[in-house]
Amino acid sequence: MKPIKMMADKRKKSSMNMLVPTIIMGVIAAALLVYGWVNGQGQHVAGLRSAAMMTINVLPLLIFAFIIAGMIQTLLPAQLISRWVGAESGIKGILVGTLTGGFMPGGPYTSLPIAAGLLRAGAGVGTMVAFITAWSLWAVARLPMEIGILGWKFTSIRLICTFFFPPIAGLIANLFFPK
């Protein structure tokens, strides 16, 4: 009974964390709609159509990412998470987070819900900092496009310069925010 209450408390806290950003985005969206309606020549309608198309394109991805995040929280045994990516997993967890993040495909719509699910399931802060840092800096799935547009030389320089940042960021997070 206790784990269910803890998950409910975490969900309540999570929804409160989303309240302020949601209000801010709502106010900005309303202001832009009003501005487009008052000063524009129909751009607000084109903007709403564009938003609807983005929603149609992204919504399935969001739904599946949230399903994965929810399943991670409930299906993966706590001992498994603790051993591989928990706070006590140490450098092993940071390296697992780094490699997983670097190879994680997709944008923030997939990676951030998965990271949130892992955090709620007991992953260490340092591991998830390494995960998100590697996802944003290494982005192995993005490399073919980067090489095609920017070339091998620049891409190699960027990777060499950022190679050690994800594990270092994870270690710093563990040092300053152990729990």
Predicted confidence (pLDDT) per residue in 77-136, tens digit: 878 888 888 888 889 999 999 999 999 988 888 889 889 889 988 899 999 999 999 999
Range of the domain at 131: 41-176
Please classify residue 149 by burial: count the beta carbons closer than 10 Å to its beta carbon, then call 0-12 exposed, 13-18 middle and 19+ buried.
exposed
The DSSP letter of residue 141 is G
Confirm whether 26 is domain-assigned: no
Confirm whether 113 is domain-assigned: yes
The predicted-structure confidence for 40-69, as pLDDT tens digits, reads as follows 788 888 889 999 999 998 888 888 888 888
Query: What pLDDT band is residue 167 in, cutting at 50, 70 and 90?
Result: very high
Confirm whether 72 is domain-assigned: yes
* Total number of domains in the chain: 1
